[in-house]
């Protein structure tokens, strides 16, 4: 899982509560990403950031928010507005935002909302 850490590994929340997932990297990468993984659907992009203090919505940003105050950190908040938040969440980073760079993934956080 390289130099990316995600915490916690498992997270349980009640409906209506906001929850923040942590993502930290020590690879000195400029770009960071959040994906959601559901069975049989591959990975879907939630948000990405190419530089500190800047981020863009991905394909499924509704009900999520992010911040990028430091190069090494890109936390994701799952808000109560997210209709179906139970999923496996993956954070990734890449050296630059260019097309040729592979991504390095954290170990993931499995969120269960009941």
Interface positions with another protein (CB under 8 A):
1, 4, 6, 40-43, 45, 48, 50, 58-59, 90, 92, 97, 99-100, 102-108, 110
* Distance separating alpha carbons of residues 87 and 97, to the nearest angstrom: 26
DSSP conformation class of 60: T
**CB of 94 closer than 8 Å to CB of 104:** yes
Tell me whether residue 66 or residue 90 sits nearer to another protein (CB atom).
90
In whole angstroms, how close is the CB of 91 to another protein at the nearest point? 8
| CA diameter of the chain | 40
Cα(67)–Cα(52) distance, rounded to whole angstroms?
Answer: 9
For another protein, the closer CB: 75 or 80: 75
Output the smallest distance, CB 63 to another protein, in A: 19
Instruction: Supply the minimum distance, in Å, between the C-beta of residue 65 and another protein.
Output: 19
């Amino acid at each position: 899982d390289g130099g990316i850490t995600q915490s916690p590994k498992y997270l349980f929340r009640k409906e209506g509560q906001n929850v923040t997932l942590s993502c930290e990297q020590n690879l000195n990468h400029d770009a960071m990403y959040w994906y959601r993984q559901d069975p049989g659907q591959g990975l879907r992009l939630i948000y990405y950031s190419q530089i500190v203090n800047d981020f863009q919505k991905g394909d499924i940003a509704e009900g999520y928010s992010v911040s990028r105050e430091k190069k090494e950190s890109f936390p994701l908040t799952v808000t109560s507005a997210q209709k179906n938040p139970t999923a496996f969440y993956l954070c990734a980073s890449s050296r630059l935002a260019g097309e040729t760079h592979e991504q390095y993934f954290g170990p993931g956080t499995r969120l269960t909302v009941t």
